[in-house]
Amino acid sequence: MTIKLGYQIPNFTYPGPVETLFDSVVAQAKEAEASGFDTVLVMDHFYQLPGIGAPENAMLEAYTTLGALATATSTIQLSTLVTGNTYRNPALLAKTVTTLDVVSHGRAILGIGAGWFEREHNDYGFEFGTFGQRFERLDEALQIIAPMLKGEPGTLDGKWYTARGAMNNPRVRPNIPIMLGGSGEQKTFRLAARFADHMNIIADNDVLAHKVTVLRQRCEEIGRDPATLATSCLVMGLVGEDEQEVKELAQAIPEDRRNRTFLGTPDQVAEQLHEKVLGAGIDGITINLARNGHRPGFVSQVGAALKPLVS
């Protein structure tokens, strides 16, 4: 498993009635599959995120969406970027992802992180806890999930979670890959070195090379070959078909995401990604087109520009 070119769908607010909303999601996934993307990813959130839209904007539940996309596609990998660990019992999450793998004929990836959106926790009744507690919970969850994704019983008598030989059948693959998402050098990277097949780094462009170096160090600290932990980077793409649209999109860059947002035409953005992301030692790119990815044909246009970067 590797994610060389991923397409994330973070926005479900489109023109037209809600009855056609999922048709647009399917169309984007199909365009991504046909144009060279290897993975389609959705956020695991219940509200829209700041910087993309208002919290009351449309947001689809992640695993229901991925299960439906599994039947509408045939080759592209399917994942969250990333599952909020705090939202689900870990044994149940392992079962959910394994079922997605069966439904998709072996195309599921478990993307997972510690969880961070406090309002969702408060409104939905999930315990938020402290930063440290959320990472304690993620560590325990992975101790249950990782064996279960390999077909081994999940067993743990932990501080946060308990599993007593939790079985996980049926399965179609010997192991479902695990991807962690984040940028924390002390906690996230250490968990990735222990448990993950893939690390999606979410960080500003000017620190990406440093993050790659630290991630490699975390692998070496436990005797793992860093080459066995693939990397990708999530970027926001404000991509316009022409210079006029690019100028209009420039007004939409969130202040706190300026150093991880790529602005330009498809070819201009491809050039920037080659220099700033792949040039920093990252293996692959996951891009979202939050403003205009729903436009028919646009994912295909962006895919055509980006595919040569990772071919």
Instruction: Spell out the domain ranges in the chain.
Output: 5-310
**b/e for 68-104, b at 16 or more Cβ within 10 A?**
bbbeebeebbbbbbbbbbbbbbbbebbbbbbbbbebb
Per DSSP, the residues of 141-162 read HHHHHHHHHTTPPEEEE-SS-E
Contact 68, 33 (CB under 8 A): no
**pLDDT-above-70 percentage for the chain:** 100
Give the architecture-level CATH label for domain 5-310: Alpha-Beta Barrel (3.20)
Per-residue pLDDT band for 263 (boundaries 50, 70, 90) equals very high
- Selection from 68, 103, 80 nearest residue 9 by Cα: 80
Per-residue pLDDT band for 101 (boundaries 50, 70, 90) equals very high
Give me the chain's average pLDDT, please: 97
Length of the chain: 311
Three-state SS at 45: coil
What integer pLDDT is reported at residue 257 of this predicted model? 81
Q: pLDDT, tens digit, for every residue of 210-248?
A: 999 999 999 999 999 999 999 999 999 999 999 999 999
Please check the confidence at residue 1 and state whether its pLDDT lies above 70. no
Per-residue pLDDT band for 290 (boundaries 50, 70, 90) equals very high
What integer pLDDT is reported at residue 84 of this predicted model? 98
What integer pLDDT is reported at residue 252 of this predicted model? 83
What integer pLDDT is reported at residue 254 of this predicted model? 78
Per-residue pLDDT band for 38 (boundaries 50, 70, 90) equals very high
Q: How far is CA 86 from the centre of its chain?
A: 16
| Average pLDDT of the segment spanning 84-106 | 98
Please check the confidence at residue 81 and state whether its pLDDT lies above 90. yes
For residue 52, CA distances in Å to 139, 273, 284, 288 come to 30, 21, 23, 11
Three-state SS at 70: helix
What integer pLDDT is reported at residue 177 of this predicted model? 98
Please check the confidence at residue 253 and state whether its pLDDT lies above 90. no
Q: pLDDT, tens digit, for every residue of 217-226?
A: 999 999 999 9
58-67, 103-112, 258-267: lowest mean pLDDT where?
Answer: 258-267
What integer pLDDT is reported at residue 7 of this predicted model? 98
Please check the confidence at residue 255 and state whether its pLDDT lies above 90. no
What integer pLDDT is reported at residue 285 of this predicted model? 98
For residue 295, CA distances in Å to 161, 283, 291 come to 43, 28, 9
What integer pLDDT is reported at residue 259 of this predicted model? 87
23-27, 128-132, 251-255: lowest mean pLDDT where?
Answer: 251-255
Per-residue pLDDT band for 53 (boundaries 50, 70, 90) equals very high
Element (DSSP H or E) covering residue 164: strand 162-166
Please check the confidence at residue 302 and state whether its pLDDT lies above 90. yes
Residue 157 has phi, psi (to 5 degrees) of -115, 85
Please check the confidence at residue 171 and state whether its pLDDT lies above 80. yes
